[in-house]
């Protein structure tokens, strides 16, 4: 049994919140630069130039990539041989988020109640996902999720007979109607299967995959390529102003589901796919 202190968890989360809001992952930056080569219109190229310049400016200045520094989504993989000491796990996570957003001078966007709309003033509570895995390590990933892309995300319980064509129609309709509000070029996470509650989590986990990383199978690799081609053929384009690149990547995470159901969720993620991971 390995002991990990709540204080160490808080410190790690604090650092991840700050760094994730400033430094775009290398796979995302590379994909943006590569995708810019596929644009022909001056408007689309101009948008890509601004995005690339913004990435460099944030890195050099230490300022946030975007004014919307998001709700903190924290993904935990906890080794089954880990024992957390000195406090509750949820408290450690939220203390880290509060410290990170304060130290990083990051915008606090979380409200305590959907109707009363009072700001919690420290961006807590975080949205936390916990997965128990073998071993004695704790992996923490922070995904600051902006409101614009989150508001464009959708979920439906399709009939099984809808099949792949029904799934494609649902995803493409979401991109055509809401993609321009999500600051494209997008990374699109798709959850398939599970249940009403779990399929949305699958779509969020899909966003965490590095661009270019292998999917669960070649079967789904082909589905991802097919959807990416059709999404880019919509010509929504960067920032919704038209162009050849609407999405940088499509990632699908699938799970078993009930025989009578076909849950599908689409998590839109803007080009500023801010995610950072640390292992304790």
DSSP for 87-130, written as a single string? S-HHHHHHHHHHHHHHHTT-----BS-TTT--B-SS--SPEEEE
Q: Are 194 and 256 found together in one domain?
A: yes
Domain with 126 in it: 2-20+65-145
Residue 213 domain-assigned?
Answer: yes
Does residue 279 sit within a domain? no
Of 110, 130, 145, the last residue of a domain is: 145
Residue 216: the pLDDT is 83
pLDDT at residue 192, as a whole number: 98
State residue 172's pLDDT score.
98
- On whether both 159 and 267 belong to a single domain, the answer is yes
- Per-residue tens of pLDDT for the chain, all 280 residues: 899 999 999 999 999 999 999 999 999 999 999 999 999 899 999 999 999 999 999 999 999 999 999 999 999 999 999 999 999 999 999 999 999 999 999 999 999 999 999 999 999 999 999 999 999 999 999 999 999 999 999 999 999 999 999 999 999 999 999 999 999 999 999 999 999 999 999 999 999 999 999 898 999 999 999 999 999 999 999 999 999 999 999 999 999 999 999 999 999 999 999 999 999 9
Residue 278 belongs to some domain of the structure: no
Cβ pair 251, 190 in contact under 8 A = yes
Q: Indicate whether 77 and 134 sit together in one domain.
A: yes
Whether 41 maps to a domain, the answer reads no
pLDDT of residue 113: 97
Q: Which residues contact 251 (CB under 8 A, 6 or more apart)?
A: 187, 188, 189, 190, 206, 207, 209, 215, 224
- Are 201 and 191 spatial neighbours (Cβ–Cβ below 8 Å)? yes
Look-up of token digits 């990051």:
106
CB 122 within 8 A of CB 100: no
Residue 237: inside a domain: yes
194 within some domain: yes
Residues 161 and 265 both lie in one domain: yes
* pTM score of the predicted model: 0.95
- Among residues 145, 170, 201, the one where a domain terminates is 145
What pLDDT is stored for residue 273 in this prediction? 96
Distance between CA atoms of residues 238 and 224, nearest Å = 20
Final residue belonging to a domain, choices 118, 145, 172: 145
């Amino acid at each position: 049994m390995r002991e990990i202190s709540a204080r160490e968890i808080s410190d790690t989360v604090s650092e991840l919140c700050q760094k994730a809001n400033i430094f775009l992952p290398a796979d995302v930056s590379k994909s943006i630069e590569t995708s810019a080569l596929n644009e022909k219109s001056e408007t689309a190229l101009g948008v890509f130039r601004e995005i690339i310049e913004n990435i460099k400016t944030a890195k050099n200045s230490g300022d946030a990539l975007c004014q919307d520094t998001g709700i903190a989504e924290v993904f935990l993989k906890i080794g089954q041989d880990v024992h957390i000491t000195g406090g509750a796990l949820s408290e450690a996570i939220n203390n880290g988020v509060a410290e990170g957003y304060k130290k990083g001078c990051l915008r606090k966007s979380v409200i305590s109640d959907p109707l009363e709309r009072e700001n919690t003033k420290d961006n807590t509570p975080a949205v936390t996902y916990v997965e128990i895995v073998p071993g004695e390590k704790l992996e923490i990933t922070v995904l600051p999720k902006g409101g614009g892309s989150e508001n464009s995300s959708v979920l439906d319980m399709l009939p099984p007979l809808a099949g792949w064509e029904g799934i494609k129609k649902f995803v493409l309709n979401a991109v055509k109607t809401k993609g321009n509000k999500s600051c494209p070029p997008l990374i699109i996470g798709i959850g398939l299967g599970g249940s009403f509650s779990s399929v949305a989590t699958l779509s969020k986990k899909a966003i965490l995959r590095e661009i270019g990383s292998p999917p669960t199978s070649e079967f789904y690799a082909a589905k991802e390529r097919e959807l990416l081609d059709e999404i880019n053929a919509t010509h929504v384009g960067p920032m919704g102003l038209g162009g050849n690149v609407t999405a940088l990547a499509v990632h699908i995470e699938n799970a078993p589901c009930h025989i009578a159901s076909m849950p599908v969720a689409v998590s839109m993620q803007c080009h500023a796919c801010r995610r950072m991971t640390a292992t304790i």
